[in-house]
């Protein structure tokens, strides 16, 4: 039996997503741009998948575009918004705990002379709103802030950015990376008041190789992946129908956001209560983080050996973010945690498919690792 707790890295495709893939491979393998019946059938399926994901996001399907990944979506958002707005200013405000697919494009723009302000979190992973919002001024053209942090699960104040932009007289566009938030908390444009929202399929039990981007006003983002003009010119390249149809099916399965969150909250509560009295274990996620992500440290035992120990027992967790291996976590570093805590940190990420039995297996293994190898405080 494998107890899988690395759902923030990727998720197991759900049954309906797999069925959608099989349908695509067997019955919908045409090019959606082809003007014959096989192509038209594919085009109709593409439209239906767009409606499914748009419904989960709470947007009009005409404002949602498929991409080849969440990374591609974030790159499109950052570079595309900057290109459209660069004549109105030269400043980007973001946080110091963004995913590399946001951090690296902004870092590249910084190397070309763009002023970048990165706001660091406190020790709980939360962003100081006063500091964040005061950094926004008339020269700010883009504010990029993730909805949920991928390592500790902290919820960031995206829905308060608009007021700061108006108050400070800024022309800025708001982008929110919602890849870890989709299906876990409400991420509709109404809830977040964002101009651009980026998402990914394989984080919600669809296939890898598909992401998406909501754009309130398509004219605010300049396409940078050029070619055949697919996705209304925003993301050229023949659409990957199996992955896209799986995204649509998974989105429909994930509509019960509150119900699923309540169930996972129960699993998290059981986990945290079981490990809270272990002397060498610290919980690094804030108490009000989303229930799907729990970051802990077993002091005295480095992260990778913890992952290896768990793996030998059929338990899958990750050493911080699985998206950038071999580096000390920039998120935990930005939070100001000690090197000892950072170097022994692991991420446990849950899904609605985890069970209480699996939580028992995990907590038992954590206790065993702590007793054998942990540093007594």
Q: List, for residues 227-251, the tens digit of each pLDDT value.
A: 888 778 778 888 899 999 999 999 9
Residue written as token pair 């876990």: 184
The pLDDT assigned to 246 comes to: 97
Q: Is 323 a catalytic residue?
A: yes
SS3 152: coil
- Can you list the positions of beta strands (E) in 121-209? 140-144, 173-177, 196-200
Q: Could you read off the pLDDT of 69-88 as tens digits, one per residue? A: 999 999 999 999 999 999 99
Is pLDDT of 23 > 60? yes
Instruction: Place 375 in a pLDDT band, splitting at 50, 70 and 90.
Output: confident
Q: Which of 31-35, 113-117, 256-260, 338-342 is the least confident region?
A: 31-35
> What letter would DSSP give residue 227?
S
Domain 15-253 has CATH 3.40.640.10: yes
The pLDDT assigned to 376 comes to: 66
The pLDDT assigned to 328 comes to: 81
**CA–CA distance, 303 with 311 (Å, rounded to integer):** 12
**Which one is catalytic: 14, 28, 145, 323?**
323
Closest CA to 156 of 183, 190, 114, 122: 122
Residue 39 vs residue 360, higher pLDDT = 360
Instruction: Place 31 in a pLDDT band, splitting at 50, 70 and 90.
Output: confident
Instruction: Place 377 in a pLDDT band, splitting at 50, 70 and 90.
Output: low
**CA–CA distance, 9 with 25 (Å, rounded to integer):** 26
**CA–CA distance, 222 with 277 (Å, rounded to integer):** 53
The pLDDT assigned to 237 comes to: 86
Contacts of residue 320, defined as CB under 8 A and 6 or more positions apart, other chains included, come to 151, 295, 303, 329, 331, 332, 345, 346, 347
The pLDDT assigned to 355 comes to: 98
Q: Average the pLDDT over 193-222 and give the result.
A: 95
CA distances from 369 to 316, 344, 373 (A): 14, 12, 6
Instruction: Place 323 in a pLDDT band, splitting at 50, 70 and 90.
Output: very low
The pLDDT assigned to 137 comes to: 97
> What letter would DSSP give residue 209?
S
**0.85 cut: is pTM over it?**
yes
Domain boundaries, the chain: 3-12+256-369, 15-253
Instruction: Place 322 in a pLDDT band, splitting at 50, 70 and 90.
Output: very low
To the nearest whole number, what is the mean pLDDT of the chain? 94
CATH class in words for 3-12+256-369? alpha beta
Instruction: Place 326 in a pLDDT band, splitting at 50, 70 and 90.
Output: low
**CA–CA distance, 57 with 308 (Å, rounded to integer):** 37
């Amino acid at each position: 039996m494998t107890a899988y707790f690395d759902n923030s890295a990727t998720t197991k495709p759900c049954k309906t997503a797999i069925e959608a893939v099989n349908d695509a491979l067997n019955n919908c393998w045409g090019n959606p741009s082809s003007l014959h019946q096989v192509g038209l059938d594919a085009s109709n399926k593409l439209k239906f998948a767009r409606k499914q994901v748009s419904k989960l996001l709470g947007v009009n399907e005409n404002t949602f575009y498929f991409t080849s990944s969440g990374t591609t979506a974030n790159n499109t958002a950052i570079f595309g918004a900057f290109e459209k707005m660069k004549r109105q200013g030269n400043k980007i405000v973001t946080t110091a705990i963004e995913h590399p697919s946001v951090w690296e494009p902004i870092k590249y723009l910084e190397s070309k002379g763009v002023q970048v302000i990165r706001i660091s979190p406190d020790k709980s992973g939360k962003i100081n709103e006063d500091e964040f919002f005061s950094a926004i001024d008339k020269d700010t053209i883009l504010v990029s802030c993730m909805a949920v942090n991928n390592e500790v699960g902290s919820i960031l104040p995206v829905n308060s950015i608009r007021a700061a932009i108006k108050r400070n007289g800024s022309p800025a566009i708001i982008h929110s990376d919602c890849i870890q938030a989709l299906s876990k908390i409400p991420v509709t444009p109404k809830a977040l008041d964002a101009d651009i929202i980026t998402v990914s399929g394989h984080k919600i039990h669809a296939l890898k190789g598909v992401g998406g981007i909501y754009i309130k006003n398509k004219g605010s983002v300049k396409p940078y992946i050029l070619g055949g003009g697919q996705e209304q010119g925003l993301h050229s390249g023949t659409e990957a129908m199996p992955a896209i149809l799986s995204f649509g099916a998974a989105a429909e399965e994930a509509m019960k956001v509150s119900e699923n969150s309540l169930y996972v909250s129960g699993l998290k509560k059981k986990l945290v209560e079981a490990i809270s009295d272990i002397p060498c274990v610290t919980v690094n996620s804030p108490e009000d983080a989303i229930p799907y992500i729990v970051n802990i440290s077993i002091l005295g035992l480095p992260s990778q050996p913890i992952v290896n120990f768990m793996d030998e027992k059929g338990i899958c967790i990750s050493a911080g973010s699985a998206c950038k291996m071999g580096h000390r976590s920039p998120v935990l570093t930005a939070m100001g945690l000690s090197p000892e805590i950072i170097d022994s940190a692991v991420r446990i990420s849950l899904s609605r498919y985890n069970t209480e039995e699996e939580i028992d297996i995990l907590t038992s293994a954590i206790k065993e690792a702590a007793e054998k190898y942990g540093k007594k405080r």
